[in-house]
Structure 1
Amino acid sequence: MRVLVIGGGGREHALVWKLKQSPQVQEVYCAPGNAGIGEMATCVPISVTDVEALVRFASDRRIELTVVGPESALMAGVVDAFEAEGLTIFGPKRAAARVEGSKRFAKELMEKYGVPTAGYRSFHDPREAIAYIRRQGAPIVVKADGLAAGKGVIVAQTVEEAVEAVHRMMEERTFGHAGEEIVVEECLFGEEMSLMAFVDGETVRPMVPAQDHKPVYEGNQGPNTGGMGAYSPVPHIGDSQIQQALSEILIPMARGMAREGLSFQGVLYAGLMMTEMGPRVIEFNARFGDPETQVVLPRLDGDLADILLATATRSLAKAELAWKREAAVCVVMTSRGYPGSYEKGKVIQGLPKACEEAVVFHAGTATIDQQLVTAGGRVLGVTSLGTDLEGARQSVYKTLGNIRFEGAHFRRDIATAFCGVKTK
């Protein structure tokens, strides 16, 4: 089988890594890929939103399965275009991907089909949004309606902070067009969890849960990022709670979308808050999470190509899904300054030794003058497996000590809350 993976980050490296383990996959291409992906697949210099070029490449190379990584490609309509040409592709069409592309749209669907989530209001006028915030008080959550690379959410502890978030999103346009409309919602309290599922219409097959760490600094301080690390399983959230999230959230959402004529095919990702009243949806995504994929796929005990193909061809009910008992912890190394402005081109050292001890997924790397250098805000995702979370955590932090580049930053408390470890 010839496979094309669309994207160039750590999530796509994890997809390529797992697909390469399939005995039925002979060739893997990645558009555009990165330096790490280039060591195991053929990278092609095509943007994830250049739909015409992607279709042409897949047709010319007789690609038998295409897997979409980033949400920007989904919202550009890549799945619609591939299916129109009779090409097999894993991912939802643009209309269904709006469950991530518009927070208001997702909220309206949840409201219609009884999917539990936080109370909310949406706004096009910043003055109306600010008046609502002043009436509601804080803490309160302000979200850009559109895609903002995981950074368009402000959990405001004060009214002033929330008002400032409205100004930045709607007037200063910090997140561009994504902030033309905003959603203001009640602040939920509890334990966060990411639960992804393969969906091929109304068949929903859950993956193992994971927990992400969004803020850039230890103790969940600082601005939100695309993700600073993750771990799986999430032992302090019981199986009954996970089953409740499946039966009350993921399955009703998939069925509701089908009833709306938006039959979902791909990964439906529920970002959840496990509250005292049960699971509540924080957000839906329409693709694999990043960095959650970097801890979930290493725990998959089986052939990823089989599962992706079954999902894409609407035969998911027949696919076999099994999971390893091992725990996985991923820590993301970033460039200094991320999620703000950062420099590129810093030489990365120590990877050969690190790769002997863990799986190193490249997120933002490039090769210049035969040297591996930084080329993004999130640079590497280092993942270790262990018999339990504490073993995986110890292993990944030992490995991180071998990797060096100027300005490297990573959180030192990934998975420590569960493991009972105190950090400075």
Structure 2
Amino acid sequence: MKKLHFWPALVCLLALFSLQSQAQCPSGSIPYTGQYPLVSGNTYCLNSDLAGVVNIQIQNGATLILMPGVELQGAGSIEIFGTLDVRDGAGVVFNGGASIGSTLDVSSLLKLGRFSYFSITGSLSVSDPTASNPSSANTASIQQDNGSVMEICGPYSQQAVSYATVDFTGTTNAYAHFITKATASGAAGAPVASESQIHWLALSDVDLISPGSATYCGPNATEATCTGANWPTGLSQSSCGQASTIADENNDALPAMFKEITATLNEDNGILSVRWTTASEMNMKAFHIEATADGKNFTRLGTVPTKANEGASSQTLQYDFNYDLSAKRLLNISMAFIAILLAALLSSLFYKRKSKLSFGAVAAAFVLLLAIAGCSKKPRSVEVSPENPHAFIRIAVEDINGSFTYSRTLKVIAR
């Protein structure tokens, strides 16, 4: 098996950058480990995959955040009286049913970020808080961003007539899927969505409720009858749990459609090469190359502007991006030398002057010294295997409006 000498440099570089770029749970939030119930006034946060959860209840005034890329799996029931915030690329897969809101005059929200998903085998019911107070501004609602997917495999019901239950929060050139695989019903005339970017695919019966402004295909929708609603590849009524796959497919569709992406590391010269091909582009501005050592916390390595004329193309376009890790190793050595001087200076001031500098400042310099010096050492050779991944790449796609979508995350391969 091949021995690689630049993998540790790449991983160490990403580790150092992640101290600044790492997506962290909000300050003061409580780590979510499956607590029941989630108490009003508290914010809970999940920043790594979690399976085996039994029942979720989010009380009014409580919030549960799923950080980007995290998946929550469980069984039983999900009761959302507060807020469930599923951020970009994250998802919920539950064997059971869910409910949003109640007839009490309070707001409840299920929020899906870009290319996130919510999939349940059971029913989903969305209440109407204005039932107890018709003049109330409170809502029980669902918000969907670019490429997100709602997959409801059991019966769906909604009660609000004065407002649409599902809102689209993404960009105008994007869309999201709202998929009901069993009977969809509720109050007469209750509108499902407020924007056409919500693509409602009703694979079974629909009773009383209306599409509102949604791009709608149903009842008893099939791929043949849904030519205008972006029917996802492989979607079927007979199976559940397709939401994450559909979200990935949506990811590939906006605003650049990728044909191929490769990421390789030349072990001889330390050059990281990322190459990709787009089949089409729309409203494009630039591609930003991002890397991670853990598959979650990404560091931007560089930017490549679009080749598409005025950001649009229906032709195949090829792109290349190279990143010199050997140069970064030299930079790390220089940083280590600077850290040594800094530590020496602080130590001198601390001991000779008995200065007012805190011991914490000296300790911080010492920690920085160890971290950078460690990265500057000659790296050990590392075996690459499926069980020992070292780095991953994704491409952040920026459109002309400054909005971002992301390619699939792929492993860097040694050459």
Interval containing the TM-score (normalised by the shorter chain): under 0.3
Task: Point out the structure with the larger helix share.
Answer: 1
Which structure has the greater CA radius of gyration? 2
Larger RCO, structure (CA 8 Å, separation 6 or more): 1
**Which structure shows the higher strand fraction?**
2
